[in-house]
Amino acid sequence: MTTKKKSGASRLAVWVIVGLLMFGMIGFGAAGLNGTQRNLGKVGKKTVSITSYSNSLQGELSQFEQQIGRKLTMQEVQSIGIDQQALSRVINTRALDNLATDLGLSAGNERVLAQIVEIPAFMGLDGEFDRASYTEVLTRNNLNEADFETSLREDSSRELLQTAVLTGIKVSPAYSEAIVAFTSETRDFSWLRLTAANLKNKRPTPKETDLVKFHIENEALFTTPAAKSISYIWLTPDMIVDDIKILDTDLQAIYERRTDEYNQPPTRLVERLVYATYEEAKISFDNIEKGTNTFEDAVKMRGLELQDVDLGDVTEIDLGIAGPAVFSLTEPGLVGPLETDLGPAIFRINALLAGNIQTFDMVQDELREEAALDAATEEIAAIAEEVDDLLAGGATLEDVSNETVMKLEKIDWHVGYASEISDFVEFQSSAAKLSEKDFPELKNLNDNSIFALRLDNVIEAALQPLETVRPSVITAWGKKVEKDQLQNLGELIVRNVSLESPISKFGFGEEIEDGVARDDFIDGTPPALVLKVFETKLGTATLLDDADGLIVLIPRAEYPANFMSNEVKSLQEILGGRIDAALSQEVFQAFSNAVRNSVDVDIDQATVRAVNTNLLGGG
């Protein structure tokens, strides 16, 4: 029987299906799943195999782990819902298979045969389909011919069903055209930044009544936040490290254990081309030296590739008896022929890498500091046990501070307060939850420090008297006056600026921007500037707040998308394709869900849990 040649894409799709089927069978239908149990349940009249679920789960899991760059635990998989997504995908697939059967959709024997004979795993030495190989491969992967051929038939039928559902689903070009018209539009505009330097009048001197009024009207600026008055004891490795003595003999022992770190010998990037005799090697070397051949030519003449002769990064010892001669070169080059364990060889040195030799004297201070910090951490662990006992026995923080090396301090803490200890997240969390009912409890900081705290008092938010904050009030009042003056100046300019009366007409140096698109950014301006340009009516000026003052801007011209340009045509084509693909996916997902809801679904959750444990483990 002759078979029609399939496209490369179809052949690849078949290979993917076969790979998943064979890989998924490994380890299932055996121990841990009731011996011969192979199914999770049924969807309509179709069984749901353990293999299909395991494949789906592994696919979903692999994709998610690649995105986050690490492995997930079984608990994380279940909390995220990856296992349920995988199971839902399999159930939907079998629901579609059930519908295809009900509709009488089925791939013919010829189509299934055409797929099978093109799978390389089933071919013999002559490159043709081999019946014995077909049977042997399926048997080795715990598959039988009937199940395998049924899976191919169902895949083809489901593909046919999907094609029927999605045929004709295409978004009107007007949709992508509208989006491209919006995104590809450009504008010309002018703008001016107004700052305090543009004000003619200097900042005025406030009257007392001005300050009193401003202080009352802006209480939030001058009100101290509610705080907690906290006493705490703490101990860090840095507090005791200077009192710890490290013996020189101990440092020497540490240095010797880390000798590979501190003693890195010089290396060379080397290629080695070996010959059978010295004479052959010498002739080749001389030809390269004369320029008759290149090193690359010599490698090819030996029937090799450069990667075959590349030794990589090597030390003098790595090269054996040839090492001294190779390392005698003071710059990249050729040396040889040299005797090696494999025979006479030509060496090409591509780079000379200096070593990093650090003597004990050079790193002694560094080692001493590290060792002292390690010893301090161990000592803190021992002190922690003593402090725990004291606190459990009812000792106050003051008592503990007197009896140990723990340091006693006080702080009026509130959210956003910055200090040495409040910079630690662990302290912030404990302080935020602290109440008068809590007894001091020893806790750890992330640098191996320890601490315990006690709430002494709650300090209510309070408006600070004017006399206390007078300098701050004067400064804030002055900035407010300047801002109001800038606002008035900006509004005056906006009222008078137009296309006929540009910004420059009023004595200001304007910035000119032409051909700006919606996704462009103007250096040194707020991100909202370009958005504001496209929101503003042509020829109409407007204001935009800026960190240093205000920005006056006026759009001068707009240019619609040029649908005759290759760039815009390409953008519309790409966007249209993505919209069609997204709509097709949504439609088919809705169709699949509807099909699923129309059939009975019976899944053994105990078996699902067993598969999860088998694949993911318990941790």
Q: What's the pLDDT score for residue 104?
A: 85
122 and 139 belong to one structural domain: yes
Quick check: helix, strand or coil at residue 421? coil
Query: What average pLDDT does the chain have?
Result: 85
pLDDT tens readout for residues 270-293: 999 999 899 999 999 999 988 888
Distance CA 398, CA 412 (A): 18
Q: Point out the least confidently predicted range of 13-22, 49-58, 597-606, 607-616.
A: 13-22
277 and 400 belong to one structural domain: no
Residue 346 near residue 298 (C-beta atoms within 8 A): yes
Number of residues that this document lists for the chain: 619
Please say if the pLDDT value at position 22 is more than 80.
no
Residues in Cβ contact with 292 at an 8 Å cutoff, skipping those fewer than 6 apart:
none
Residue 232 near residue 430 (C-beta atoms within 8 A): no
97 and 162 belong to one structural domain: yes
Query: Among residues 451, 479, 500, which one ends one of the domains?
Result: 451
Please say if the pLDDT value at position 174 is more than 90.
no
Q: Cα separations (Å) of 591 from 158, 488, 555?
A: 13, 60, 48
344 and 484 belong to one structural domain: no
412 and 428 belong to one structural domain: yes
Share of the chain above pLDDT 90, in %: 30
Share of the chain above pLDDT 70, in %: 93
Assess if residue 260 is contained within a domain.
Answer: no
- Cα-only R_g, the chain: 39
pLDDT tens readout for residues 311-333: 888 888 889 999 999 999 989 99
Q: Which domain holds residue 300?
A: 266-354
**Mean pLDDT along residues 230-243:** 89
Does the model's pTM come out above 0.75?
Answer: no
Assess if residue 300 is contained within a domain.
Answer: yes
CATH number of the domain that 277 lies in? Answer: 3.10.50.40
Q: What's the pLDDT score for residue 456?
A: 93
Q: What's the pLDDT score for residue 614?
A: 80
**Mean pLDDT along residues 486-493:** 91
Q: Point out the least confidently predicted range of 33-47, 86-100, 231-245, 320-334.
A: 33-47
**Mean pLDDT along residues 427-445:** 90
Assess if residue 404 is contained within a domain.
Answer: yes
433 and 372 belong to one structural domain: yes
| Total structural domains within the chain | 4
41 and 70 belong to one structural domain: yes
52 and 150 belong to one structural domain: yes
Q: Which residue has the higher pLDDT, 241 or 530?
A: 530
Query: Among residues 324, 354, 384, which one ends one of the domains?
Result: 354
Q: What's the pLDDT score for residue 2?
A: 31
pLDDT bin (cut points 50, 70, 90) of residue 12 is very low
Residue 112 near residue 129 (C-beta atoms within 8 A): no
Q: What's the pLDDT score for residue 516?
A: 92
Distance CA 602, CA 537 (A): 61
Assess if residue 240 is contained within a domain.
Answer: yes
Q: What's the pLDDT score for residue 306?
A: 86
Quick check: helix, strand or coil at residue 542? strand
Q: What's the pLDDT score for residue 219?
A: 92
Assess if residue 581 is contained within a domain.
Answer: no
236 and 384 belong to one structural domain: yes
Assess if residue 39 is contained within a domain.
Answer: yes
349 and 372 belong to one structural domain: no
Assess if residue 585 is contained within a domain.
Answer: no
Nearest to 60 by CA among 49, 75, 72: 72
CATH number of the domain that 155 lies in? Answer: 1.10.4030
**Mean pLDDT along residues 484-512:** 89
Q: Is omega for the bond preceding 225 within 30 degrees of 0, making it cis?
A: no
Q: Which residue has the higher pLDDT, 618 or 239?
A: 239
Nearest to 192 by CA among 510, 506, 548: 510
Q: What's the pLDDT score for residue 618?
A: 56
Going by their DSSP bridges, the two strands 542-546 and 549-559 should be labelled as antiparallel
Residue 228 near residue 413 (C-beta atoms within 8 A): yes
**Mean pLDDT along residues 286-301:** 90
Residue 116 near residue 152 (C-beta atoms within 8 A): yes
Q: Point out the least confidently predicted range of 141-145, 179-183, 215-219, 553-557.
A: 141-145
207 and 232 belong to one structural domain: no
CATH number of the domain that 482 lies in? Answer: 3.10.50
pLDDT tens readout for residues 535-574: 999 999 999 998 888 999 999 999 998 888 888 888 888 8
Please say if the pLDDT value at position 390 is more than 90.
yes
**Mean pLDDT along residues 489-498:** 91
**Mean pLDDT along residues 353-360:** 81
Query: Among residues 421, 451, 481, which one ends one of the domains?
Result: 451
Which of 157-188 are b and which e, b meaning 16 or more Cβ less than 10 Å from the residue's Cβ?
Answer: bbebbbeebbeeeeeeeeebbebbeeebebbb
Place of tokens 């078996």: 607
Q: Among the ranges 65-74, 110-119, 259-268, 373-382, which has the highest mean pLDDT value?
A: 373-382
Assess if residue 276 is contained within a domain.
Answer: yes
Distance CA 129, CA 9 (A): 20
Please say if the pLDDT value at position 246 is more than 60.
yes
pLDDT tens readout for residues 582-606: 888 888 888 888 988 999 999 888 8
Q: What's the pLDDT score for residue 158?
A: 84
Q: What's the pLDDT score for residue 37?
A: 59
**Mean pLDDT along residues 463-470:** 93
Place of tokens 């689903």: 169
44 and 148 belong to one structural domain: yes
